[in-house]
Amino acid sequence: MKKIAHFITITALASFVLLACNQSSNSKDGEVSLTTMEDSLAYALGVSIGENLKQSGFDELNTAAMNQALKDVYGGDSTRMSVEDATMIINDFMMAKTEAEAAGAKQAGQDFLAFNAEREGVVTTASGLQYEVITEGTGASPSATDQVTVHYHGTLIDGTVFDSSVDRGQPATFPLNGVIPGWTEGLQFMKEGGKTKLFIPSDLAYGDQGAGELIGPGATLIFEVELIKVGQ
C-alpha cells in the first residue's frame, strides 16, 4: 500500500508540473531536445516517474500505451478509462504482486527454518519460533509486560542487515509487549547478561505487510539479541 500511495503521489506531482509547463513541444522525429527549463523539468519528471515505477514493481510496461494515455489527458481527448478505474487496476496489480512476493518469501522462510531446526542447539517452540542460546545469562528473565534494554542485530535469511543497535552503538529500551510476537516470546527464554539468536517466521514478525524498505512481505527474520537489563 505504501508503494501504491508513493506512485500516486509522484504521478500527481508530475501531472501538476507538466500542466503548469503547458507541455512545451519541441520534438522532431521522436527526438526531444531539452532547450528550455520546462523541457528539462518534464524530462526530469519522466526519469523520476520511470525509476519510481520500476522500484514499485512495474518491471515491464507498455510505454506506448502509457504515452498515449498522457497524450489523451494533456490533449484534452477522452481517455479509455476513468481515473477511478485506473486506480483500481493499479491497486489490483500491486496487491497481486505483494501476495506473490509474500508467498515466495514464506516458502523460502519455511525451507530455511526446516533446515535450521536440524542444527544442534536450535530449539523450536510450539508457535514456530526458533532460538539458539549463544551465551547463557545469569540474571532475571523478563515477563511479557516488562521493559527491557537490549542490543540486537537483525538480518534477513540471505544475510541482509535491516536494523542493528550494535552497528549504531546504542542499546534499545522498550516494553516487551510492544514489539513483534517473536520478540515477545523469544526474550522470555532469556536471562540478563545472555545472548540468543532468534529465528522468527513471518507470522511472528511483520507478516504479509513487511516493514520499511528491506523487510519484504512474508519475510523470515533473524535477530542476535543480548539482554542487558530487565525493568527500568
Known catalytic residues?
A: 152, 162-163, 180, 206, 223
- At 185, list the grid cell: 516470546
Q: How far apart are CA 109 and CA 219, in angstroms?
A: 7
Q: Parallel, antiparallel, or unpaired for β 147-156 and 172-175? A: antiparallel
Q: How far apart are CA 37 and CA 30, in angstroms?
A: 19
Q: How far apart are CA 183 and CA 106, in angstroms?
A: 19
Question: Which residues have C-beta within 8 Å of that of residue 110, sequence separation ≥ 6?
Answer: 201, 220
- Closest of 178, 159, 132 to residue 221, by C-alpha: 159
Do 157 and 104 meet the contact criterion of CB atoms below 8 Å apart? Answer: no
- Closest of 18, 59, 70, 62 to residue 41, by C-alpha: 18
